[in-house]
Amino acid sequence: MLPLLETSDLATRLLQQCANGVAKGSVYALVAVGYTRVYGVLQLINFAHSDVYMLGAYFSYYPAKWLGYMPEGAEKPKVPFYVLGLAFLFAVSACAATGMLIERLAYRPLRNASRLSALITAIGVSILLQNVGQMVFGADPKSFPRYMDQESVALGPIAVADTSLVIIVVAAAMVGALHLFVQRTRTGAAMRACSHDMRTAGLMGVNVNATVSLTFALGSAMAAVGGMLIAMDQPRLTPTMGLLAGLKAFVAAVLGGIGSIPGAALGGLLLGVAESMVGAWNTTYADAVAFVVLVVVLLVKPSGILGKSGREKV
């Protein structure tokens, strides 16, 4: 019986790694949908997206702090539910406004310029947000209010944090809702029209500026939710917390086929599980192997897993 026990031990370990990967992947997916949405409409890699995610985490930190739920040097009290709601609303609306503002000031004037100029302003806005964030919030890492108690939930032989479960559920729900919104509503149709051909969409009576603004508002709101949820799970806020998350989410979005919402979710999950599975063997090279996997997938499907392969017109 002993060998069997050992194999089941290994199986448990792999199962646990799989769960780790799904939790990690859901985080990537949450951030990746924002990238993919903006890309779908503007063909712009919105480098500042990961910094809006950072702002989301900070914006959901401050309401609880202002209301006295982050006392200095004492045990943090549990935050009541209405404060959570308040923080959520504040973070979502503030981030949506920030996203729209960024689009209005930094991207709209460049809409007819080359895509690369817009990319450079996006990088500029990203560095700007990080440093303004540091000037306003400070460079020291901040903990997070006790919106939710982090506890370990046993699922059969494996253990998952309840916050991870919340992330998985919310990520799935949000991606589903966004997908339905884009596919089934009139506004969603306007978005799709803009991503197909902005000029023609305008001629057809779509308010292009409003649609693009809305896209940014939606993407930024989702980044805010992502920032808040991830801060609950991994409570450490820094002005540069968006760097790695943004890079991974961007990779996930491309892996799934940039522009596609289900693709972003799938890309995120795949990247997360791949990292964990490789990590089960060796964590030193996990990231390197994840990138190799990415390149191989792209070589087989050059426009990502669910991406549309645009045929070149002559």
Partner 1 sequence: MRKALAAVALLAVSLATACGTKIGPGHDDKEVHLGLFVSTSGEIATFGEDTKKGVELAVEEINAAGGIKGKKIKLTHYDTASKPEEGKAAATKLATQDNVFVAMGAVASGISLAAAPEFQKYGIPMVSPSSTNPTVTQQGNYIFRVCYLDDFQGAACAAFAQNDLKAKKAAILQNQDDAYSTGLSDFFEARFKKAGGEIVAKESYKKGTSDFNTQVTNIKAKSPDVVFLPCYYNDAALIAQQCRAQGLNVPLLGGDGWESDKLVPNAKGALEGCYFGNHYAEADANPKVVAFVEAYRKKYGNAPSSLAALGYDVVYVVKKAIEDAGEFDRAKVRDALAKLKGYEGVTGKFDIDENRDARKSISMLKIEGEKFRFVRQINPSEVE
Partner 2 sequence: MLRALGILCLGLAGAFGLHLVVSNAVPPYPALIVNMCGISIILAISLNVINGLTGQFSLGHAGFMAIGAYVSAYFTTTLRYFDPDAARYISEAPLFDGLWGFPPALLAGGIAAALAGLIVGIPTLRLKGDYLAIATLGFGEIVSILLSNFRAVGGTKGLTSIPGYADTFWIYGSAATCLILTGFLQRSTFGRALIAVRENELAAEVMGINAARMKITAFVYGAFFAGVAGGLFGHLMLTISPANFGYMKSVEVVVMLVLGGLGSSTGAVVGALILTVLPEALRDVERQVELSGFRMALYALLLVVMMLFRPQGIFGQRELSLKLLRRLLPSRDKPGRQP
Residue in 224, 304, 305, 306 binding partner 2, rule: CB under 8 A: 304
Structure tokens at 159: 């253990």
Q: What kind and span of H or E run contains 152?
A: strand 152-155
Distance CA 58, CA 51 (A): 11
Number of residues that bind partner 2 (CB under 8 A): 46
Q: Give the one entry of partner 2, partner 1, none that residue 137 binds, where binding means its C-beta sits below a cut-off of 5 to 8 angstroms depending on kind.
A: none
Q: Give the one entry of partner 1, partner 2, none that residue 5 binds, where binding means its C-beta sits below a cut-off of 5 to 8 angstroms depending on kind.
A: none
State the nearest-atom distance from the C-beta of 165 to partner 2, in Å.
30
> CA–CA distance from 121 to each of 170, 211, 216, 305 (Å)?
31, 21, 15, 29
| Residue 141 interacting with partner 1 (CB under 8 A) | yes
**Could you tell me if 96 and 103 are in contact, meaning their C-beta atoms sit under 8 angstroms apart?**
no
Tell me which DSSP letter residue 109 carries.
G
Structure tokens at 146: 């006790």
Q: Give the one entry of partner 1, partner 2, none that residue 283 binds, where binding means its C-beta sits below a cut-off of 5 to 8 angstroms depending on kind.
A: partner 1
Q: Residue 181: is it exposed, middle or buried by C-beta count within 10 angstroms (0-12/13-18/19+)?
A: middle
Q: Give the one entry of partner 2, partner 1, none that residue 123 binds, where binding means its C-beta sits below a cut-off of 5 to 8 angstroms depending on kind.
A: partner 2
Q: Give the one entry of partner 2, partner 1, none that residue 150 binds, where binding means its C-beta sits below a cut-off of 5 to 8 angstroms depending on kind.
A: partner 1
Task: Name the site residues for partner 1 (rule: CB under 8 A).
Answer: 9, 13, 16-17, 20-21, 23-24, 27, 72-73, 76, 131, 134, 138-141, 143, 150-152, 159, 161, 230, 233-236, 238-241, 243-245, 275-276, 279-280, 283-284, 286-287
